[in-house]
Amino acid sequence: MNEEKVIIAGFGGQGVMLMGQILSHAATVADLNTTWIPSYGPETRGGTANCAVTIGEERINSPVVSVPDSLIIMNQPSLDKFQKKLKKGGILIANKSQISDAVYRDDIEVYEVDANKQALEIGNLRVANMVMLGAYIAVTGVFSKDDMFAVFEKIFTGRKSELIDLNKKALEAGIRAVGK
Amino acid sequence: MAKVLMKGNEAMALAAIEGGCDAFFGYPITPQNEIPEYLSRHMEERGRVFVQAESEVAAINMVYGAAGAGARVLTSSSSPGIALKQEGISYIAGSELPCVIINVMRGGPGLGGIQPSQADYRQITKGGGNGDYHLLAFAPENLQETVNIIKESFALADYYRNPVMIAVDGLLGQMMEPVDLEAAPKTEVPPEKAWAADGNSDRKGGRNVITSIHLDPLELEKHNRKLQKKYDEMVAKEQRYEMIETADADIVFVAYGSMARIARSAVKTLREEGIKVGMIRPITIWPFPEKAFDELPASVKSLLTLEMSLGQMHEDVRAANNGRFELDFYGRTGGVVPEPEEIIDHVKRMLEKEGSS
Amino acid sequence: MNAKTVYEPTKGLVERDFHYCPGCTHGIIHKLVAEVLVEKGLLEKAVAVASVGCSVFSYEYFNCDAHQAPHGRAPAVATGIKRVRPDSAVFTYQGDGDLASIGTAEIVHAAHRGENITVIFVNNAIYGMTGGQMAPTTLLGQKTSTSPFGRDKTLTGEPLRISEMLATIPGAAYLERVSVHDPKHIRKAKKAIEKAFDVQMNKQGFSMIEFISTCPVNWGMNPMDSIAWAKENMIPYYPLKVFKDKTDGDNDE
Ligand SMILES: Cc1ncc(C[n+]2csc(CCOP(=O)(O)OP(=O)(O)O)c2C)c(N)n1
Ligand code: SF4
Ligand SMILES: [Mg+2]
C-alpha cells in the first residue's frame, strides 16, 4: 500500500483521538508501520481536538502530517481549519450533522455522512465517531470491516466489552452510508 | 513478543521497568505525566518503589539517596523541572552515582509552553548544574529506538557510575507507535555495587560514604580528573550517530530527535527532485558525535543544522565542522513543530543564493 | 590491675577529633546518637544522611554508612534510601538553617508522607557554618551578622517553631524537643533518640528530635556562657516537651 496520512478533527469529546488510535491499532495488528500524534494541552480543552495518523509499509519519517491524503471532519471549525491542507484529489469524509456551512473544494472527493443521526438511530450519539470511521475505511479501503472488528475485540476489554456490539453496528452503518 | 501500539511516555515507562528500574521518584509536569502515571500503576504491583515527591528538587534528591543505596533509579520531568533538578544532578555526578533521567522537552525559557521543543540542548549538554561534569545524553528519534536506549541506559549508568539522560521532545512523549520491547537489548543483571551506602557497614570493605565534597583543592582536582577520564572514555566509545545518504550529498543536514524524523521526509522529497541532500543524525548529543563529521566526503558543499530551538546544537556543529564546510541554520522554537516543506523551501533558497553568487 | 572502665569512647563514632569549635554541643549530640545506634544494635544497618552546615562532615564521625546531602535536602535523600532499603535505619542530621529555612519543603513532606526516618534537628538559632547569619530560628533581639541590630520582628518575623509546626502533620509519629545543657537533660535527650529509632524500626512513621544547641563562636560567648544563654533564652521560647507521640494512645489522632 501507499503511505496513508489522515487527519481526524472535531470537538473534544467526539472521540476523535480514539478514532485515530483504532486506525493505528489496526495497522499494528497488520504489522504495518504507523504513527499517531495528538494535539494536546489547552488545545484539547473544550475546543477542537485533532490527531494525525500515518500508516505505511515503509518506515515513517515525519509523524507530523502537513498535507493529508484524507480528512475525517467531525464539525464546522475543523472543516474550516483543515480542508485547505488536504492534498489535491484527497478524500474528505464530513459529518454533515455538525456542518452548517458546507463549502467544499472542487478538487477533492467529498463524502457526507449524517453521523450523529445514524448514531442516534443505533442508540447512542457517542458512536458517531465509529460511523465516520466506517465510512472512511469503506471509501479508502485502508482496512476491512473485519480488521476493525478485531481491534474492537482487542481494545474494548473488561467492562468496556459491552461496547463492542454497539461499535460494530456503528461501523457497519458508516460503511453503508457511503454505499459500500 | 509482537509489536504493541503504545504512547511514547508509557512505552518509556515500560522500558524502564524492563530495564530493571527499582525505584522512581518524580513530580508532575506536562508533557511527561503519563510516565509517572503508568509507573504508579505498575511499579507497586512488582514490589518496586514509586514516590510522587513534593517537588523536582525533592525528587532528584530521592534519586540521589536511592542511587547511593545501590538501586537502579529513574526520574522523569520536562524542561523547567529538569532546570530545578540540576543541583541534584550535579551532586549525583560528583558522587559518581548511576541514575537515569528522562526529559520530555517543552518550549522555554521560563514557564514557556507545553508543546514539543529541543530548547534544553544546552541545559543537557553544557552542564546545567555546577562543576566539571557531563551527562551521557541520548536523543532518540522514534519509540523503538527510545525504548531500546532506555533499557540499555541503566546498564550504561551503572558502568560509568554517572547519570544518563534520555532527551526526547513532547512529540515523542505524546505520540503512539508500535514498539517491540523484546527487540530491545536484554537487560543485564546490575553489577555488584560494593560502594553503596545501603546500611550494611559490617561488610568486608567497611563502611561506605557517598559524598561530593572535597574541600582540599588538590583533592578535588584529583577527583575531577578521575571524572574526566570517564568522560574521555564516553567520548571515545559512546558517540552514536546515523549517516543518511551522505556519500554523494551536496547539502548535509544535522538534526536529532523528532527534528531528524521531519528532516528525513525532506531528504526523501528533495532526493526525488534530484537534489542531493543527506543527514547526520546525532543519537548521542553528549558526547556530540564529532566522528560523524570526519566521515563526510570532501565533495559536500554545506551543512544545514536543523533544530526545534534557535541554534543551540549549531554551536557544536560549528566546532565539529572546524571551518571545513559552509554552515547554515534553520530552526523553529517555542513549541512550533516544523513541517518538512519548510526545510525543503529553505534548501531551495540556499541553492538559489548559491546559484546567484 | 583491677580498674573498672568508667568511660569508653563509643564504637558508634569513628576514632578521630571533632572539627567542632570548643564548647559546641554538636559533639555531645553526635555522641548520644552514636551510643543509641550501638546500644540498639542498629549501627551496622544505619545510614546517616549528613546535611550542609557545621555538621556537613558528620559522616566522618558516625561509624556507619553515610550519604552527604545538598543543603536542605537530607529528608529527600533519606526518603530515597529508606524506600529502596526499608530494613535499614536511616537518620538525617540537620541544622536549623538547613532544616528550618532552605529545607522546609523537604522536612514537611517527609513528615507528611510519614516516612520511616529519624531526623536529628540541631537548633542553635543561627547559621553556624557560614559565619553566624540570622536563621529563621534566631530569637527576637538576637544579634547576628545579618541582624546586626538584633532580630526585628517587623522586618524578619518571629522565630519559627518547627516541632510545634510538624506536630500538626498526621504522618509525624514522634516529635520531641530536648536540650543538652546539663547531665540530667542529656540523659533525657538520649531517651528521646532511643524512642525515635524505635518508632522508625517499628515502621510507625516519621520521627524527629529537636535539640536546643549552642554556637559559642557565632554567639560571641565562651562555652559556659553559651550553655547558660541557651537555657535562659532559648528554652523559654522553645519549650522542651513531647509534641507528638503516636505510640501513646492518648496522643494518637
Ligand atoms: C544551596 C546552598 N546555599 C547556601 C549554602 C551555604 N551554606 C552552607 S551551611 C549554611 C547554613 C547552615 O546553617 P545550619 O543549618 O543552621 O547549621 P549550623 O552550621 O548552624 O550547624 C549555608 C547557608 C550551601 N552550601 N548551599
Ligand atoms: S560555628 Fe558554631 S555550630 Fe559550628 S562548630 Fe562552631 S560553635 Fe558549633
Ligand atoms: Mg544552625
Q: Which is more confidently placed, B215 or B354?
A: B215
Peptide bond into C70 cis (omega under 30): no
- Among residues B199, B219, B237, the one where a domain terminates is B237
List strands edge to edge, sheet with C242-245: B209-210, C65-68, C46-50, C89-95, C118-123, C206-212, C172-179, C242-245
Chains A and B lie in contact, requiring 3 or more CB pairs less than 8 Å apart: yes
Whether residues B260 and B347 fall in one domain: yes
Of B68-72, B231-235, B352-356, the poorest mean pLDDT is in B352-356
Q: What is the ipTM of this complex?
A: 0.93
Domain C26-248 has CATH 1.10.357.10: no
Q: What is the mean pLDDT of residues B81-91?
A: 97
Tally the domains of chain B: 2
> Which chains have 3+ CB pairs within 8 A of C?
B
For A131-142, the pLDDT digits (tens) are 999 999 999 999
Grade residue B1 by pLDDT with cuts at 50, 70 and 90.
low
**Does the CB atom of residue C89 touch ligand 1 within 6 A?**
no
Residue B4 has pLDDT above 60, yes or no: yes
Instruction: List, for residues C154-208, the tens digit of each pLDDT value.
Output: 999 999 999 999 999 999 999 999 999 999 999 999 999 999 999 999 999 999 9
> Taking Cα atoms as reference points, which of A92, A97, A44 lies closest to residue A70?
A92
Q: What is the CATH number of the domain that holds B180?
A: 3.40.50.970
Ligand 2 centre to CA of C236 (Å) is 22
Superfamily designation of domain A3-177: Pyruvate-ferredoxin oxidoreductase, PFOR, domain III (3.40.920.10)
Record the cell numbers describing residue A162, joined without a space. 459491552
Interface test with C, best of B27, B62, B130, B195 (most C CBs within 10 A): B62
The mean per-residue pLDDT over the stretch A132-155 comes to: 96
Q: How confident is the model at residue C252 (pLDDT cuts 50, 70, 90)?
A: very low
pLDDT of residue A179: 87
Within 8 A of A55 by CB-CB distance, chain B residues are none
- pLDDT, mean of residues B99-108: 97
Asked if A touches C (at least 3 Cβ pairs < 8 angstroms), the answer reads no
Q: Please report which confidence band the pLDDT of residue C6 belongs to, taking 50, 70 and 90 as the band edges.
A: low
CB under 8 Å to B199, separation ≥6 — which residues?
B69, C44, C45, C46, C47, C64, C65, C81, C85, C87, C88, C89, C90
Examine the domain organization and report whether B222 and B257 are in the same domain: no
Check CB contact under 8 Å for B115 and A41: yes
**B263 lies within 8 A of chain C by CB:** no
CA of residue B252 relative to chain centroid, distance: 22
Domain boundaries defined on chain A = 3-177
pLDDT for C251 equals 47
Instruction: Kindly give the distance from the C-alpha atom of residue A99 to the centroid of ligand 3, in angstroms, as a whole number.
Output: 69
Rounded mean pLDDT, B183-210: 90
Whether residue B158 is found in the same domain as residue B285: no
The single residue listed with the C-alpha cell 491542507 is A85
Give yes or no: residues B25 and B149 share one domain.
yes
Residues B167 and B304 placed together within one structural domain of the fold: no
Indicate whether residue C129 lines ligand 1 (CB < 6 A): yes
* Whole-number pLDDT of residue C253: 45
Domain span including residue B58: 4-237
Give residue limits of the domains in chain C: 26-248
**Chain segment A79-114, per-residue pLDDT in tens:** 999 999 999 999 999 999 999 988 999 999 999 999
Q: How far is C11 from chain B (nearest CA, A)?
A: 13
Judge whether residue A1 has pLDDT over 90. no
User: Looking at the CA of C18, which ligand is closest?
Assistant: 2
| CA of B5 vs chain A CAs: smallest distance (Å) | 6
Do B65 and B184 fall within a single domain? yes
Residues B265 and B141 in one domain: no
Neighbouring residues of B320: CB distance < 8 A, sequence distance ≥ 6: B288, B289, B290, B292, B293
Same domain, B40 and B167: yes
Q: Residue A41: pLDDT above 80?
A: no
Ligand (nearest to CA of C24): 2
Mean pLDDT of C52-69: 95
**Are the Cβ atoms of B171 and A64 closer than 8 angstroms?**
yes
Which chain C residue has its CA at the smallest distance from B215's CA?
C57
Domain at B270, CATH number: 3.40.50.920
Q: Residue A108 — left, alpha, or beta (φ > 0 → left; ψ -120 to 50 → alpha)?
A: beta
Distance C56 CA to ligand 2 centre (A): 11
| pLDDT greater than 50 at residue A150 | yes
Average pLDDT over every residue of A31-51: 78
The domain boundary, picked from B237, B255, B273, lies at B237
Distance (Å) from CA C213 to ligand 1 centroid: 16
Judged by a CB distance cut-off of 8 A, whether residue B262 touches chain A is: yes
Residue C77 has a pLDDT of 98
Average pLDDT along chain C = 94
Ligand 1 neighbour C135 (Cβ under 6 A): yes
Residues of A in contact with B5 (CB under 8 A): 21, 24-25, 27-28, 34, 36
> Which H or E run contains C209?
strand C206-212
